[in-house]
């Protein structure tokens, strides 16, 4: 058994920010299924938000209003206030750690416009922002005494009697399962976009932390809110940053028309993502797409080669490599792509995980980053607010953990969680049924994209739910061809698929119950936002006899809900 004061699961921006801070006072370990530098944070391109006001005067109040409105009034305003007030300090802290932000001519941190933000407040490092952040924070973790368990796959949380006592994890290199005993655990396992076929997310974004929470009897919050990003490369889903539109890019349909004038005449291409994704899907569904009619275009040609090379070098490379077009002279084919999980493991503003709709805390368990739901993004996240969320609330979860350590001790490790972990891995490795886990994963992705996507209705959602349940049953009959222990990706992928099947049921079930349109959740059979019945958070539990939904009030402090137009 391994033993550390604090175990952080995940080596992305949230996990590393937390590790950097906690390790000042406690024996800290980072358990990550990937080498930390391969975390999805590294793929973030566009930027990280703060009202620095370096380009035009700005204030946290304006950032707050934009975020509340962007969330379609589902975000908790106490949490959003924390996010926006502490954003500038977070940026300067990161700068002092060594993050090489792009600069204005006078040498200040440059800021560019982003969708849904009224002011240019995205701080960026060309279109390599996440890469720069991740490398810098990781470098700063190296001189600290942090135990890095790279390529360890966390299986389960050891929660007993409302107290978290560590985790159980699989060593991918040896195939052995081990218990990690700790006083506190911080979950920072990232998003779950891989549950969809067309997605911008890395292969590893399979929502394992959500599966771990569910298996420990904990609920998930607002899972029906999945963000679809408007500029995924056609068929690939690979992201082309919103920074492209921030720099002045257009969206045009197959007839060359800048169609956003019909959907968001004021904000045009800088409307929030939910609004633009629906506009694109409408153009496609009504036959105004390009070529085969199933995509629209991003047009950057008027920006010129010099600007594209300076501000959007990665985008140019991605377009050339993956669809063979050069944005300097060609239109780039795009479509909406599953991008971000607004929902997740419910926490308080300090990162403390809660176990029900009444905010009962789980002692010793914290969560931060994309796997957590605080909720600062509500029904729709604004671009550049999530790197901020990960950095800021990763830090906050660390501060709360340090405070907790003052009074915390090691509680006995529940042996049965270890036995369950060993049994689960053995079952998967020795499975000799007729179903193929990769095929089940593929069918899940197909059905989630087709039936639980940008536009939803009861009929499609019912079909989707039936399919997810069928896949869950078929999972019991999987067969594994590779019985080896070392780097057995067939086994780890099957474990991921099991997690995806679990939380996908909650996404679909929550979407079925929520009969309204709010942010990214759009029910064509229930037009309009329904504040009277649905201005509330979904708290979903996985029970023996199915999903149980409970609801929780939204925290409203400054900005009462009003109509959301752009």
Ligand X SMILES: Cc1cc2nc3c(=O)[nH]c(=O)nc-3n(C[C@H](O)[C@H](O)[C@H](O)COP(=O)(O)OP(=O)(O)OC[C@H]3O[C@@H](n4cnc5c(N)ncnc54)[C@H](O)[C@@H]3O)c2cc1C
Tell me the closest approach of the beta carbon of residue 88 to ligand X, in angstroms: 15
Tell me the closest approach of the beta carbon of residue 530 to ligand X, in angstroms: 28
Residue (109 or 465) nearer to ligand X, CB: 109
Helix (H, G, I), strand (E, B) or coil at 451: helix
Tell me the closest approach of the beta carbon of residue 174 to ligand X, in angstroms: 15
Tell me the closest approach of the beta carbon of residue 74 to ligand X, in angstroms: 18
- Concatenating the DSSP letter of every residue in 26-62 gives S-EEEEESS-GGGSGGGG--S-EE----SSS---HHH
Helix (H, G, I), strand (E, B) or coil at 133: helix
Residue (323 or 549) nearer to ligand X, CB: 323
State how far the alpha carbon of 474 is from the alpha carbons of 123, 214, 441, in Å.
46, 20, 11
CB half-sphere exposure, 121, CA atoms < 13 A = 30
Give me the residues that bind ligand X (CB under 6 A), please: 9-15, 31-34, 36, 39-41, 43-48, 129-130, 153-154, 188-191, 200-201, 204-205, 208, 239, 340, 369-371, 383-387, 390
Tell me the closest approach of the beta carbon of residue 565 to ligand X, in angstroms: 24
Tell me the closest approach of the beta carbon of residue 110 to ligand X, in angstroms: 14
208 Cβ neighbours under 8 A, 6+ residues apart: 33, 153, 154, 189, 495, 496, 499
- Tokens 């802290």 correspond to what residue? 93
Tell me the closest approach of the beta carbon of residue 511 to ligand X, in angstroms: 21
Indicate the helix (H) or strand (E) that contains 229: strand 226-233
Tell me the closest approach of the beta carbon of residue 9 to ligand X, in angstroms: 5
**Region of residue 5 (left: phi > 0; alpha: psi -120 to 50; beta: else):** alpha
Q: Is 273 a catalytic residue?
A: yes
- Concatenating the DSSP letter of every residue in 509-546 gives HHHHH--S-BTTB-BTTS-S--HHHH-EEEEEEEETTE
304 Cβ neighbours under 8 A, 6+ residues apart: 328
State how far the alpha carbon of 32 is from the alpha carbons of 87, 154, 224, 474, 563, in Å.
27, 8, 27, 29, 42
- DSSP state, residue 381: P
Task: Given the residues 112, 273, 316, 474, select the one marked as catalytic.
Answer: 273
Residue (339 or 537) nearer to ligand X, CB: 339
Residue (377 or 529) nearer to ligand X, CB: 377
Q: How far is it, in rounded angstroms, from Cα 161 to Cα 448?
A: 35
Closest CA to 285 of 312, 253, 263: 253
Q: How far is it, in rounded angstroms, from Cα 539 to Cα 552?
A: 7
211 Cβ neighbours under 8 A, 6+ residues apart: 498, 499, 500, 502, 503
Tokens of residue 527, six digits:
């037009």
Just list the catalytic residues: 273
């Amino acid at each position: 058994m391994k033993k550390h004061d604090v175990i952080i699961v995940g080596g992305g921006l949230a996990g590393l920010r937390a590790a950097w801070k906690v390790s000042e006072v406690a024996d800290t370990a980072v358990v990550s299924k990937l080498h930390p530098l391969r975390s999805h944070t590294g793929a973030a391109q566009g930027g990280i938000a703060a009202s620095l006001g370096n380009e035009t005067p700005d204030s946290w109040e304006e950032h707050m209003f934009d975020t509340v409105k962007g969330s379609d009034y589902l975000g908790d305003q106490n949490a959003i206030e924390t996010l926006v007030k502490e954003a500038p300090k977070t940026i300067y802290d990161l700068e002092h750690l060594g993050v090489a932000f792009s600069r204005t001519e006078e040498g200040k941190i440059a800021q560019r416009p982003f969708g849904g933000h009224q002011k240019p407040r995205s701080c960026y490092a060309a279109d390599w922002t996440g890469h720069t952040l991740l490398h810098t924070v990781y470098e700063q973790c190296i001189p600290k005494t942090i135990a890095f368990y790279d390529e360890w796959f966390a299986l389960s949380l050891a929660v007993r009697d409302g107290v978290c006592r560590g985790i159980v994890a699989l060593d991918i290199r040896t195939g052995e399962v081990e218990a990690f005993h700790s006083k506190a655990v911080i979950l920072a396992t990232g998003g779950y976009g891989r549950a969809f076929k067309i997605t911008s997310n890395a292969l590893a974004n399979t929502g394992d932390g959500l599966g771990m929470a569910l298996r420990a009897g904990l609920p998930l919050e607002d899972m029906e809110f999945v963000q679809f990003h408007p500029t995924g490369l056609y068929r690939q889903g690979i992201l082309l940053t919103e920074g492209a539109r921030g720099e002045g890019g257009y969206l045009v349909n197959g007839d060359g028309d800048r169609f956003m004038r019909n959907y968001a005449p004021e904000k045009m291409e800088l409307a929030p993502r939910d609004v633009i994704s629906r506009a694109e899907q409408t153009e496609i569904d009504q036959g105004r797409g390009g070529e085969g009619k199933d995509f629209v275009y991003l047009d950057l040609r008027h920006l010129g080669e010099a600007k594209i090379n300076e501000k959007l070098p990665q985008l140019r490379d991605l377009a050339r490599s993956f669809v063979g077009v050069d944005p300097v002279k060609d239109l780039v084919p795009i479509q909406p792509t599953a991008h971000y999980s607004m929902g997740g493991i419910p926490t308080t503003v300090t990162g403390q995980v809660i176990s029900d709709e009444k905010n009962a805390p789980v002692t010793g368990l914290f969560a931060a980053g994309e796997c957590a739901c605080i909720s600062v993004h509500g029904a729709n996240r604004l671009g550049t607010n999530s790197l901020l969320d990960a950095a800021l609330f990763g830090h906050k979860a660390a501060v709360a953990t340090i405070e907790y350590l003052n009074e915390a001790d090691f509680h006995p490790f529940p042996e049965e969680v270890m036995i369950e972990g060993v049994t689960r891995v053995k079952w998967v490795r020795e499975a000799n049924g007729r179903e193929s886990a990769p095929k089940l994963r593929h069918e899940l992705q197909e059905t989630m994209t087709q039936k639980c996507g940008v536009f939803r209705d009861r009929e499609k959602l019912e079909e989707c739910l039936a399919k997810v349940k069928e896949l869950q049953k078929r999972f019991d009959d999987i067969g594994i061809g590779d019985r080896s222990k070392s780097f057995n990706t067939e086994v780890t992928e099957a474990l991921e698929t099991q997690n995806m099947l679990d939380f996908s049921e909650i996404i679909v079930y929550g979407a079925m119950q929520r009969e309204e349109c709010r942010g990214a959740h759009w029910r064509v059979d229930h037009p309009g936002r329904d504040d009277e019945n649905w201005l509330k958070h979904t708290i979903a539990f996985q029970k023996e006899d199915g999903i149980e939904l409970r609801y929780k009030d939204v925290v409203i402090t400054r900005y009462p809900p009003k109509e959301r137009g752009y």
